[in-house]
Structure 1
Amino acid sequence: MSAPLERLTAGGFSVGLEAPLDNDWTPAGELARQQAGRRHGEPDLAQHAKLAQLADRLDFRALWVRDVPLYDPSFGDAAQVFEVFSYLGYLAGVTRDILLGTAAVVLPIREPLLTLKSATTVQRLSGDRLLLGVASGDRPVEYPLFGRDFEGRGGNFREQIALLRDAARSSLPEGMAVLPAPTSPLPLLVAGLAQQSPAWIGSNLDGCLAYPGTPEDHQRRVANWRAVAGAKPYSSFIHLDLAERADEPMRRWRFGFRGGRDALAAELRALRAAGVDHVGLQLRRNLRPLDETLHEIAEYVLPEFHAQSTTAAAPLEEICNV
C-alpha cells in the first residue's frame, strides 16, 4: 500500500473534509450568493485557504476536491470552482500534513500525458500527499465540448489507468519521459465503476470512493468491495449540518444528516463497524460558521478516531455506487 493510503487508513479509520469549505447551501449562504452575484452553486471562496490551513492544524486527515471542468446551470454545482490540479498545487503550498485527494478526476475528457504530469507535480510539491481519485464521468454534455466520445469512455478510462500505472513509459518513444517522475506509484481510488466490471476495478484500482449512504448501505457495499478488492481502502462522504446542541438527535436527509456531535460520533462509529476506512465531511449545508464547527469536531470527535497509530463478484450497481 502506498504511503498516502497508509496514512489515510492509519488507526483503522479516519475523518477528512470535502471542499469547497463554504456553507453556501444554507439560507444565509444563498442570500450572500445572490447579493454577490455568484452563480447558483458557486461557493464563496474568500476563506478557503484559511479554512484549509485550519483543517490541517486540527488533524483532519484529508481534504478532497472535485473535478468539475465546466459549469452547467442545469446541474447547478460548481464544486470548488478552481481547476483541480492547479488548486491542489496551491493547497500543497499552504498546508503541511493533510492529505490532498481528488474525488474524482474525470479521466476520459483529459489529455492523458498532461494528467500524469499534473498528478506527479502535485505529488512532488505536496511531499507525497496526493490521493488520486479517478472516474469516467457521467455528464454527456461535456464530452463533445472536449472532443471526446461519451460512449467510449470506458475503454479510454482503462487506457489512462494503464498509462498512469507505468508513468507513460510504454507510451513514449525511447528516451522520452514525463517529468517529474512519480516518487512512488500514484495511489488510484475509483469513484463509481467507471464503466468497468467489479473484478477489473478490484484488481486495478487501489481504493474506493463510495457515494454517501447509511451504515446499512455501506455494510452491503463494503462486503461487495472486499469480495473483489480485499483490504484496499473504502471511503465515503457525509453531508453534515452540525447542530449547536451536542445531544441534538440525528435527522437524516439525502447524503447525510443534521445532528449534534454525539450523533456524528455515533454515525462514525457505525460506519467504522460497517468496514468503512475513511469519511469526508461536506459542510455546505452547515448552518454554523465553519471555523467554529471544525474546532468542535476536532476537540470532541476526532480524538476518538485518530488516537490510534498505524498497524499495519457482486452486482455492478452495488460496488462503490448508490
Structure 2
Amino acid sequence: MVTRTLTYGIQLPVQSQSTMYAEPWEAGAGAAELLDVARTADRAGFDYVACCDHVAIPRRLAGPMSTIWYDPVATLSFLAAATERVRLLSHVAVVGLRHPLVTAKGYATLDHLSGGRLVLGVGAGHVREEFEAVGADFDGRGPLLDETIDALRALLGPEEFPDFTGERFSFGGLGQRPRPAQERVPVWVGGSSPAAVRRAAVRGDGWLPQGDPRTELPAKIATLKRLREEAGVTEPITVGAIVEPLYVGEAAWEVGRRTLSGKPDALAESLRAYREMGVDQIQVRFRSRGVDELTDQMRAFGAEVAPHLG
C-alpha cells in the first residue's frame, strides 16, 4: 500500500494582521521579517508560503481585521526573488474585485518570474464596502467568482490570445505576455460553505477550508469527493486543512489552550490524523514572541516533525 505524504505550508506573518491570528510582534515587523520567514520555509521543506488579499478595510472592521493587508502579487513576487523552491500561494485572492484580465496579468507575471511556483488560491470575499468601492457585485459574488475562475483558466493557459465569453466578461483577440511558466496554474478554492465546497469540487484543483475543526472535515471531504465525481471531474484534487496552532517542544510561556505543543513525535502523531481523513496538505501556524522564535519553530518542525508525517 502506498502511503500518502502530508505536505505542509505556512501563511506568512506580517502581511495580514487580523486579531484572530496575528502575534503582537508582527505590528512592528516588515520586509526583513517576511524575507527571513520565506527563506526559512524554502530551506525547511515547506511546500508553500501564502499571502492574503484585501484591497481596503472599512472603518467598522478595522479593529478586528486591521488595515494591514499586503498585496499578494507584489509580496509573493518580492519573496520569489529571495527563494528557490517553495511555492507561492495566494490564500486567498478575492479575484471578484478585479477584472480577470488585470488579475491574469499580475499572476502570470509572478508565475513567469518565479519559474512556475504559483498556486492561485481564490475566494468569494466577505467585505461589502470593498466590493462597492471598486464597483464589483457583492450580492452576486458567488456566480461572479465562478465566472472569474473560468475566465482565469483561459487567461492563464498556454494561449497568448485566449477567447472567453461569459455573462459578465467577454474578451478575444487580446494578447498577454509573458505567459505563465506552468502549462496549467493550479487553482485552489477557499471557503467552507456548501457553495464553496461545490465550487472547489467542480472548478478547483485544490480545496482550502477555512478553519473547520477536524471533527467536521471528514464529512465535508466526503461531500467534496462525491460532488466532484457527480460532475464528472476525474483529475485528483488537493485537499487542505488549517491545523491548530503549534509549538514544537515544551514552551516556557503560555501558548494558549488550543495550541498543540510537546515532543515532535507526539505532534506528528496528532497531525497524521489529518492524512487519515483524506487531507493532502496542512497549513501550519506557530505561536511565537518574535521572528527568531518563529523561524526556530519552523526549522524544528521541518527537521523533527515533518519526517514523521508520511
Report TM bin, short chain: 0.7 to 0.9
Instruction: Tell me how large the CA RMSD over aligned residues is.
Output: 3.1
What residue in structure 2 maps to residue 269 of structure 1? 272
2:12, 2:51 within 8 Å by CA — same for their partners in 1?
A: yes
Aligned pairs, how many?
280
CA contact (8 A) 1:20 1:45 kept: no
The answer on 1:56 being equivalent to 2:42 is: yes
- Correspondence 1:186-265 to 2 at 5 A: 186-192=185-191, 196=195, 198-229=197-228, 231-242=236-247, 244-245=249-250, 253=258, 257-260=259-262, 261-265=264-268
Contact 2:190-2:207 within 8 A present in 1 as well: yes
Q: Cα deviation per residue 1:217-263 (whole Å; 9 max; x = unaligned)?
A: 222221111112354111121242405329xxx9753xxx2412344
CA distance in 2, matches of 1:45, 1:258: 29
Distance 1:15 1:222 in 2: 18
The 1-side partners of 2:282 and 2:108 are apart by 25
**Match 2:12 to one of 1, 10, 19:** 19
1:287, distance to aligned residue in structure 2 (A): 4.3
Per-residue CA distance 1:48-75 (angstroms, 9 max, x = gap): 1022111101111111111122244143
Deviations 1:160-211 (A, max 9, x none): 112111115334343x212222341221111116884754541222110012
Say if 1:90 and 1:209 are closer, same or farther in 2 by CA, change over 3 A. Answer: same
Query: Structure 1 pair 31/184, CA: closer, same or farther in 2 (3 Å)?
Result: closer
CA contact 1:164–1:186 (8 Å) conserved in 2: no
Q: Secondary structure at the match of 1:301?
A: helix
Question: TM-score if structure 2 supplies the norm length?
Answer: 0.79
1:18-37 matches, cutoff 5 A: 18-20=11-13, 30=24, 33=27
Structure 1 segment 1-322 matched on structure 2, within 5 A: 11-20=4-13, 30=24, 33=27, 44-71=30-57, 72-78=61-67, 81-167=69-155, 168-170=162-164, 171-174=170-173, 176-182=174-180, 183-192=182-191, 196=195, 198-229=197-228, 231-242=236-247, 244-245=249-250, 253=258, 257-260=259-262, 261-283=264-286, 285-287=287-289, 289-305=293-309
Equivalent residue number for residue 232 of structure 2: none
Query: Which region of structure 1 is more displaced relative to structure 2, 181-190 or 165-174?
Result: 165-174
Q: Secondary structure at the match of 1:189?
A: strand
Deviation at 1:22, TM superposition (A): 8.9
2:211–2:242: 8 Å Cα contact kept in structure 1?
Answer: yes
Label 1:240 to 1:88 Cα distance change in 2 as closer, same or farther (>3 A): same
Structure 1 stretch 196-205 or stretch 134-143: which is displaced more? 196-205
The AA in structure 1 aligned to 2:129 is V
**Fraction of identical pairs, as percent:** 25
